[in-house]
Amino acid sequence: MALRILSYNILVGGEERLPLIARVIQRHQPDAVALLEANSQSNVEALAQQLGMDVAFGKANSAFHIAWLSRFPILRTENHRLPILEKTLLEIDLHWEGTELALFATHLRAGRLQEHDHYRALEMQAILGLMRSLDHQPHVLVGDLNTVHPADNPNFPVDAATSVGADREKQNISVFPQQVIPFLLEAGYIDCYRTLHPMTPGYTYPVPAPWLRIDYVFAAPTLAKRLHACDMATGAEAEMASDHFPVWAEFR
C-alpha cells in the first residue's frame, strides 16, 4: 500500500485562503500532511474536518505553530518544544504496512545572515540528537528548513528572469548560508526530491515565481528504500494558496 506524505507552509495560518489550501491538498490525496505556519488551531481543525483527517497540533515557541493531518489513526503525538527551536518539532506515529512509522515536521528559523544559519545549524543538531534513537525505525523529517542544499547552488543557479521582484543580492543563491543540509546527509538521511530529480531545480519558494528550494522531505534509510515518487504540488490554485509550493513524497 502506498503512503503519500505532503509538507505545506500555508502562510500565517491560511487565513481566507483555506478553501484553496484544502483543494491543493485534496488534489494530491496525501495520507499525512504537515502544516507549517499553522498559526490558527481553529483553521487547522477546520481543514482536518473538511479533509476527513485526524489532527495533531503542536504549539511552538513563537506564533508559527505546526500541525499534522492524517488519514490513518494517529497512534501517538509528541510535541518536542525544545528551547533551542524557534518554532517546534512535532512528531506523530502511524501504523503502515505492519510497522510503526514516525513522522516529524519542523520549521527552522528564517533569515539569510550567517548568524541565522548558525542558529539553524544548532536547531538541526538538536533535532538529529532527538531522532538518533530511531535508527532502526522507519521515519521521515519534513518541513520548511529555510536553507538551500549546497549542491543546488552550482547545479541550479538562480535565473534572474524568474526572480520576479528580487533585488540583485537575491539573484545569486550563494548568498544563502548552507550549513543545515550537510548535517542531515552526514546522518544518513535521504533528500527525497533530489534523489529522484537530480537534474531539475525543484524550487518551492517564493510563489508564484519560485527560485529557492527550502521545503524538504528527508527519509531515514530504512524508509528511503521504498521511495517511489517525490514532487512539488504546483498549478494555479497552489500559486494563490500560499507563498510556498508544497512538496510530497510517496513510499511503496
Position 169 pLDDT exceeds 80: no
Q: Give burial (CB, 10 Å; 0-12/13-18/19+) of 201.
A: buried
pLDDT of residue 108: 97
Full residue range of the structural domain in which residue 86 is found:
3-251
| CATH number, position 244 | 3.60.10.10
**CA-CA distance, 98 to 51, in Å (whole number)?**
25
Q: What is the pLDDT of residues 18-77, one digit of tens each?
A: 999 999 999 999 999 999 999 999 999 999 999 999 999 999 999 999 999 999 999 999
Grid cell, residue 166, equals 528580487
pLDDT at 177: 61
Give yes or no for a contact between 27 and 246, defined as CB atoms under 8 angstroms apart.
no
Output the nine-digit C-alpha cell for 212.
529557492
pLDDT for residue 155: 76
**Whether the Cβ atoms of residue 239 and residue 203 lie closer than 8 Å to each other:** no
Phi, psi angle pair for 192, to nearest 5°? -60, -45
- b/e per residue 131-143 (b: at least 16 CB within 10 A): beeeeeebbbbbb
Give the DSSP letter of residue 108: P
Give the number of other CB atoms < 10 A from CB of residue 123.
24
Q: Which of 7-16, 75-84, 116-125, 164-173 has the lowest mean pLDDT?
A: 164-173
pLDDT tens sequence across 70-126: 999 999 999 999 999 999 999 999 999 899 999 999 999 998 888 898 999 999 999
**Conformational region of residue 2, where left means phi above 0, alpha means psi within -120 to 50, and beta covers everything else:** beta
Q: How much is the pLDDT for 113?
A: 82
Domain count, the chain: 1
* The pLDDT value given to residue 171: 46
What is the rounded distance in angstroms from the CA atom of residue 143 to the CA atom of residue 233? 14
